[in-house]
Amino acid sequence: MLTDTAIREQIPRLRRYARALTSNRDAADDLVQDTLERALSRSALFRPGGNPRPWLFTIMHNVFVNQVRSAAARRTSQIGDDFIEPASQDTSQDGLALRDLERALAQVPGDQREILLLIGLEELSYAETAAVVGIPVGTVMSRLSRGREKLRAALAGATEVASLKVIK
């Protein structure tokens, strides 16, 4: 059975991931709240003995996708220009590096950025990430590879990443 304590333990991770996804503090807080509300109202669907972390991230992913689709239908975006807040006080050099990373991440397409964040930031396995996003593991690996390539290029200051060659 899913306990309130098990859910509460995951809130900092959910907040961190939501802020990285939305790049907006208010939108991230709303996303976390919507995720928790859905998780609590559907706690009976949680498999006993399972890990609540991937289950909660799956819920957050689905809520986020629904929000983005809804925003696109209204022709407005709920993703703001705010940056992710650092978890702790950083030196000015660390703050600049974090800002550069945030800007580079914003240049990575959303589907690839989501995979980068789940694996790199939240340290989920490929299989857990595939389950959260609802795609095959091979697709996770290819999106991660392309996302890392685009992130490296963005951090290096390149404007465009070389595309893959089509071989016939």
Range of 8-12, 41-45, 155-159 with top mean pLDDT: 8-12
Dihedral sign (CA 138, 158, 151, 82): negative
pLDDT digits (tens, 9 = 90+) for 97-114: 777 878 888 888 989 999
Average pLDDT over residues 31-42: 92
Q: Which of 12-16, 18-22, 104-108, 163-167 has the lowest mean pLDDT?
A: 163-167
Domains, in order of start, for the chain: 1-85 (1.10.1740.10), 87-160 (1.10.10.10)
pTM given for the model = 0.61
Q: Is 81 helix (H, G, I), strand (E, B) or coil?
A: coil
> 65 vs 88, which has greater pLDDT?
65
CA-based nearest residue to 35, from 3, 6, 11:
11
DSSP 1-53: ---HHHHHHHHHHHHHHHHHHHS-HHHHHHHHHHHHHHHHHTGGGSPTTS-HH
